[in-house]
Amino acid sequence: MSVKIGNIDLGGFPLLLAPMEDVSDPPFRALCKKNGADVMFTEFISSEGLIRDATKSVQKLDIFEYERPIAIQIFGHDIESMKESTRICEKANPDFIDINYGCPVKKVTCKGAGSGILKDIPKMVSMTREIVKSTKLPVTVKTRLGWDDESKHIVDVAERLQDVGIQAISIHGRTRKQMYKGEADWSLIADVKNNQRMNIPVFGNGDVDSPEMAKHKRDTYGIDGIMIGRAAIGYPWIFNEIKHYLKTNELLAKPSMSQRIALCREHLEFSLRWKGPILGVVETRRHYTNYFKHIPDFKEYRMRLVTATQVEDLFQILDEVEQIFGDYQFQ
């Protein structure tokens, strides 16, 4: 049976690319889409930044036809600003709007945005209601189990958000207080899914870093799909690997060194086209470590990749890497 957000058909068990600040930009999303991600989200965008027409916020509205279905994700603490930014997002023509009620970073939560709103559930419900009313697009939510261990009210919260009109919910299996520490608890995500009053898709998020883990989460917790974040950084192949394993119970071979270098080049080329020669170089640096993990004697090349400032130098280093490490076998 197909999973749907509004009228958007996502297929049988969709894999969603999590919105990640300074990671989920168009170059990274393109690679994940090419390698099997079913649903895209932009980086989270500040509602205040959009209203002020801040360059960084507006640039995050860039979406491309091949990315669909894609959501623009917004965050903020002021209901009127969130409504206004929703209307701005609508003009960029995404498939749906996603509200970030999950970001645990202090500079966001201290203002009552992101997971900070988990301290004020009535405001969370009111804000969601107003955003739903302000757009014709489907509205979804990404959130956490609660603020801390004493406030894991996600089963009730999800129901209340459904009642004011959201059309899907993605839940990270940790509290805000946990940040990214400890293990994600998917049992409460399953409780949301198994609540007989819930009729919208429930997506699980947290600690899925292999095809085997994805199958375990699907089979154990019965969720409608999985959202993958950190495990895709430097390894977008994870989406197709999971799909293949869910279908056949067999693991695909790991990508070769040549495939990794080719994807790395593609990532850099897209970044240069999108951001230009300076930002394009700088913003790709955070990905090199992940593309070339666990390779013996690679430190010198990693350092050169993250310190090079000229485009031609980067491509030359990648050529060297292919010559020297091209035969390396990943386990």
Taking alpha carbons only, the member of 102, 87, 61, 93 closest to residue 203 is 102
Q: Is the distance from CB of 281 to CB of 308 less than 8 angstroms?
A: yes
Distance in angstroms (rounded) separating the CA atoms of residues 4 and 221: 19
For the chain, give the longest Cα–Cα distance.
Answer: 59
Locate 149 and state its tokens.
């261990």
Pairing of strands 169-172, 202-205: parallel
Taking alpha carbons only, the member of 224, 223, 323, 305 closest to residue 5 is 224
Helix axes 154-163, 121-133, angle to 10 degrees: 30
The answer to whether residue 103 is catalytic is yes
Options 89, 103, 110, 264, the catalytic residue: 103
Burial profile 287-301: b = 16 or more Cβ within 10 angstroms, e = fewer: bbeebbeebeebeeb
Residues involved in catalysis: 103
